[in-house]
């Protein structure tokens, strides 16, 4: 499958006086339509990397190619039209007095008719399950609802790439699950490429590939299954998946289970076989 993002030998530091680089010589690609998770400890370079991709920061060296276009100062605004970002704190993303005003805000500079704007706003809100809240003030929404509205604002712009920068980190477990399901639906309906920076295991499990960053460099790239089979997850800022914890506990109590990683549904099937 053709890449929609190609990053080559990318380096960046926030201050030229720094001896160390926040991002150091990284090279990777993102395939069109895939879901790539980026994980690692705080300060490993995850958020810096996606801000470089979106043109919010300018690289010191290296190259970023988005859908065949090399990112430059001259075309950064055109590139950004292909990318939508949702950040960690939903309260920092609202500019409208109502939910529908907020989703419409990003469309106002695109030269669309009022009819087309209204259509896109309602389609986007319906897709994230927030159409019934379109007249609601953002301040009266829960954290999960706010993030879904933020995603609707991005979806209404019809970008090719959706970047979630720790978008689930401030949500409760139910809010995280709802948001992950929303992103799954959007990806399916719009064939959108998704990049998520996360520490959430459910979010990582939904992805096609996982890129692990450490001290500004790429430590590894693997499938979620390969990642969860590692015995050093705590060293890269991740907890052990629940299925691994349960499998270990069961093994300690005499159950004969495979050593490799099992999803929760696979573990459930194995347990039925043992009964």
Q: CB within 8 A of 114, min separation 6: which ones? A: none
**Model pTM score:** 0.88
Instruction: Kindly provide the residue ranges of all beta strands, DSSP E only, lying in 22-149, ordered along the sequence.
Output: 23-31, 35-39, 61-66, 69-70, 83-86
Domain-wise residue ranges, the chain: 1-82+163-169+199-234, 241-275
Higher pLDDT, 236 or 197: 197
Question: Which pLDDT band holds residue 253 (cuts at 50, 70, 90)?
Answer: confident
Q: What's the per-residue H, E or C state across 179-193? A: HHHHHHHHHHHHCCE
Find the mean pLDDT for residues 260-267: 75
Q: In the sheet that 83-86 helps form, which strands lie side by side, from edge to edge?
A: 83-86, 161-165, 193-197, 35-39, 209-214, 217-222
Q: Of 196, 204, 212, 166, which is closest to residue 39 (Cα–Cα)?
A: 212
Q: Within 10 A of 30 (CB to CB), how many other CB atoms are there? A: 22
**pLDDT one-digit tens code per residue, 163-200:** 999 888 877 888 888 888 888 888 988 889 999 999 88
Residue that wins the pLDDT comparison between 63 and 243: 63
Contact 245/266 with Cβ under 8 angstroms?
A: no
- Asked whether residue 7 carries a pLDDT value surpassing 90, the answer given is yes
User: Is CATH 3.40.50.300 the right assignment for the domain spanning 1-82+163-169+199-234?
Assistant: yes
Q: Tens of pLDDT along 78-93?
A: 999 999 998 888 787 7
User: Contact at 8 Å (CB) between 82 and 75?
Assistant: no
At residue 275 the predicted structure's pLDDT band, cuts being 50, 70 and 90, is confident
């Amino acid at each position: 499958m053709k890449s929609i993002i190609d990053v080559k030998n990318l380096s960046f530091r926030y201050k030229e006086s720094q001896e160390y680089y926040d991002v150091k010589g990284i090279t990777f690609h993102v395939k069109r339509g895939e879901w790539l998770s980026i994980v690692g400890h705080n300060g490993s370079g995850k958020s810096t990397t996606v801000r470089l991709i979106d043109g919010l920061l300018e690289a010191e060296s290296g190259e970023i190619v988005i859908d065949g276009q090399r990112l430059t100062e001259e075309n950064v605004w055109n590139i950004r039209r292909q990318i939508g970002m949702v950040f960690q704190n939903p309260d920092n993303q609202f500019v409208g007095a109502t939910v529908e005003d907020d989703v419409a805000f990003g469309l106002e500079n695109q030269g669309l008719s009022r009819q087309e704007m209204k259509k896109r706003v309602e389609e986007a809100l319906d897709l994230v399950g927030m159409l019934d809240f379109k007249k609601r003030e953002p301040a009266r929404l829960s954290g999960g609802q706010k993030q879904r509205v933020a995603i609707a604002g991005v979806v209404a712009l019809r970008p090719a790439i959706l970047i979630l920068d720790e978008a689930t980190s401030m949500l409760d477990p139910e809010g995280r699950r709802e948001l992950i399901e929303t992103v799954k639906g959007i990806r399916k309906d719009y064939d959108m490429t998704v990049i998520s920076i996360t520490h959430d295991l459910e979010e990582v499990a939904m992805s096609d590939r996982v890129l692990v960053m450490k001290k500004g460099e790429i430590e590894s790239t693997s499938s979620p299954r390969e990642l969860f089979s590692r015995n050093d997850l705590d060293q890269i800022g991740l907890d052990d998946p629940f299925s691994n914890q349960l499998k270990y506990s069961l093994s300690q109590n005499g159950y004969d289970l495979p050593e490799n990683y099992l999803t929760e549904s696979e573990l459930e099937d194995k347990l039925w076989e043992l009964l």
